[in-house]
Structure 1
Amino acid sequence: MKLKYAYLLIAGLIIISSCKKDEDSPGEVIPPQLLSEVATENDAEIIEFLKTHFYNKEEFDAVSEGFDLKIKFDTIAGANSSKQSIFDSPLLITETISVESSSFGRTDGEVINHKLYTLVVRQGVEQGKPTIGDFSILRYEGSLLNNTLFDASSSQPVRFNLSSVVRGFGNGVKNFQTGVGPMDNSDGTVSYEDFGIGAIFIPSGLGYFDSSSNASIPAYTPLVFKIDAFDYEPDSDFDGDGIPSILEDLNNNGNLNDDNTDNEAEGLSVYLPNFNDTDDDNDGILTIDEIELDAEGNFVGFKDTDGDGIPDHLDNDL
């Protein structure tokens, strides 16, 4: 199974298997909601879940032979009434991410802060963490808050760029250190050891919001992803233009998909953000030919031939 990028900004990169578009029950019409309304509702739903559920902390604290290293959630009730909630766990990371309603085709001009919650049950042993521009190698399982499973990778690692998936997923994964591997197994598969393990709780504004290619995900629905963070590729160059993708976040807002220097030249039928565009200024000269590279082809720096403060690869009036 694959994870699909929600905003449809990157043509051709399909990460979640494309199922038919969400359809409501016959005769049922869900009126459009404002991003601000949904953000408030989703945050309340996620907090309610975090405060009323716990994970199998004891199994991770004292790993025994045969433990599968899988996160399990259960309700705090009955015999489990004394369990520490996920919300109160010191391993829970809360981040605030600004989202523009225009990224979902809205014209109301809203810019709304969203809370992203990441539970890092175990950090990997490798130092360093991926950026939202890097390729990540991991295993995942996606579900709704009611535990309805809508997607999962196979037991083997999958690889994709963290800016080519729903925004909350990529921003959650960048909180994890990774493990050791890959190690070849005798059956042709590979495995990793001492990798990061956790879960990401995503409001719909950082997910699919009012649409999804998966019929199992209703509009305006929060998502939960359990992940095993195996490895990542530092300084990934998604489009092969010679610039590490993370350096193409021109406004430094942690979102590579709203940086598109030649948007007007591309027109309405195409939208290629710079990290997925081999000619960032649409001047007919490839970006890789307008930057500085060393003898091995590694990025060194940007050129500014006419000294106007605009790098050559973003300046189409040289």
Structure 2
Amino acid sequence: MKRYFLLLGAAILVSSCGDDDGPGGIQLATTTLAEQIVEDDAAILDYLETHFYNYEEFQNPPENFNFRVRIEPIAGDNSDKIPLSQQVSSAVINVSSNETTFPLPGEETDVPHTYYFLQIREGQGPSPTVGDSTLLKVEGQLLDGFVFDSTADFGWLPLYETPLRGFANSVAQMKGGTPEGIVVNPDGSSQITDSGIGLMIIPSGLAYFNRPPDGTQIPLFAPLVFTFELGLVTENTDTDNDGIPNMEEDLDGDGFLFNDNTDLESEIERGLQIAFPNFRDPDDDGDGVLTRDEISDENGNIIFPYPDTDNDGTPDYLDFNILREPGN
């Protein structure tokens, strides 16, 4: 549970800290996203060239192999190992200063951040989106090998709640296991035999940047390495139970759910202390009619395509000017 608090906890701290204060009100060092990503890229590329994982054990599992990923330096007896650089895939996320773990001062927009991931064992189940909830085992470490958190147990982690965008997007590149793959061992422990296993390396701008959680021994501006096992996936997770899956509430399609808030101006005018992005808001347009009612018939069945009474291209549940009662 400690680890999952670490992956989720920074989101809680966002609302309690000022722009220049870290946990506990401590002044933190600042730098720009554009400056830091240059340093992070160099460090990560060097790491990929000089480290390998225990791929030979996954190719030919020895007896009682626990299928845990180990990453080690290429040196000495391991000088002939294949480096991670020849095995990983990469993707890019554009990051803006108001979309980091803690919004940063300044107006940086769309700064490219490359993250790296590797599917070591393909799961036999579905692949999650960043809007889904997942059952995971995770170990996190720094580029120098220091392990800052690890557990042998599975725990549920909603990818949409973690402030680490690189983490959520990397897990979303994988496939999980299936309920049929769950095996209960004689000692009462359990495993998921058809789970997915992978690793990721993410720059600080897709991790904690200059706001690492208090007491975690994660330095400022630290790229992070995670190895993980993806057990199960709750597909089409619907956090606010409004009938629309979280990922469909990502209106701009950028994979960041917190900047999609149709009735933000209305929430500000009403003096709300907390804004509710669409995936957390059961009334997305703030018109007083629940989203689920605006997309359902008189029997409660969801209508698809979602009703657009005035045919203006905006469905009723996002159109404040259209009050569509259930079944009408």
What pairs with 1:214-225 in structure 2 (closer than 5 Å)? 214-215=214-215, 216-225=217-226
- Higher deviation after alignment, 62-71 or 252-261: 252-261
Determine which of 81, 91, 94 is the counterpart of 1:95: 91
One-letter code aligned to 2:54: N
Determine which of 140, 143, 146 is the counterpart of 2:141: 143
Contact 1:278–1:288 at 8 Å: present in 2 too?
A: yes
What number of residue pairs does the alignment pair up?
302
Match of 2:18 in 1: none
What pairs with 1:1-318 in structure 2 (closer than 5 Å)? 1=2, 2=4, 3-4=7-8, 6=10, 21=23, 31-89=29-87, 92-103=88-99, 104-126=103-125, 128-152=126-150, 154-165=151-162, 166-181=164-179, 182-185=182-185, 189-215=189-215, 216-267=217-268, 269-292=273-296, 297=301, 300-318=304-322
- Higher deviation after alignment, 269-278 or 286-295: 286-295
- Higher deviation after alignment, 249-258 or 50-59: 249-258
CA distance in 1, matches of 2:300, 2:123: 31
- Higher deviation after alignment, 243-252 or 258-267: 258-267
SS at match of 2:86: coil
After TM superposition, give the deviation of residue 261 of structure 1 in Å.
1.1
CA distance in 1, matches of 2:54, 2:24: 33
One-letter code aligned to 1:61: Q
After TM superposition, give the deviation of residue 269 of structure 1 in Å.
2.7
Contact 2:11–2:161 at 8 Å: present in 1 too?
A: no
SS at match of 2:304: strand
After TM superposition, give the deviation of residue 113 of structure 1 in Å.
0.5
Contact 2:33–2:108 at 8 Å: present in 1 too?
A: no
Distance 1:184 1:289, change over 3 A: farther
Contact 1:100–1:111 at 8 Å: present in 2 too?
A: yes
Contact 1:6–1:207 at 8 Å: present in 2 too?
A: no
Distance 1:133 1:294, change over 3 A: farther
CA distance in 1, matches of 2:56, 2:186: 32
Match of 2:325 in 1: none
Q: Return 5+ residue gaps in structure 2 as ranges.
A: 16-21, 323-328
CA distance in 1, matches of 2:184, 2:264: 44
TM-score by length of 1: 0.87
Contact 1:5–1:164 at 8 Å: present in 2 too?
A: no
After TM superposition, give the deviation of residue 184 of structure 1 in Å.
4.1
After TM superposition, give the deviation of residue 180 of structure 1 in Å.
3.4
One-letter code aligned to 1:178: G
Q: Return 5+ residue gaps in structure 1 as ranges.
A: 12-19
Distance 1:142 1:68, change over 3 A: same
Distance 1:297 1:187, change over 3 A: farther
SS at match of 2:166: helix
One-letter code aligned to 1:224: V
- Higher deviation after alignment, 95-104 or 257-266: 257-266
One-letter code aligned to 1:21: P
Contact 1:22–1:218 at 8 Å: present in 2 too?
A: no
One-letter code aligned to 1:82: D
Match of 1:17 in 2: none
After TM superposition, give the deviation of residue 38 of structure 1 in Å.
0.9
CA distance in 2, matches of 1:10, 1:238: 20
Distance 1:151 1:265, change over 3 A: farther
Distance 1:148 1:242, change over 3 A: same
One-letter code aligned to 2:257: L
Higher relative contact order at CA 8 Å, sep ≥6: structure 1 or structure 2? 1
Q: What RMSD over aligned residues (CA atoms) do the two structures have, in Å?
A: 2.5
CA distance in 2, matches of 1:121, 1:270: 40
The structure with the largest strand share of the pair is 1
TM-score by length of 2: 0.84
Identity of aligned residues (%): 37
Q: Deviations over 1:87-127 (max 9, x none)?
A: 112xx11001111112223322332010010021111123x
Match of 1:14 in 2: none
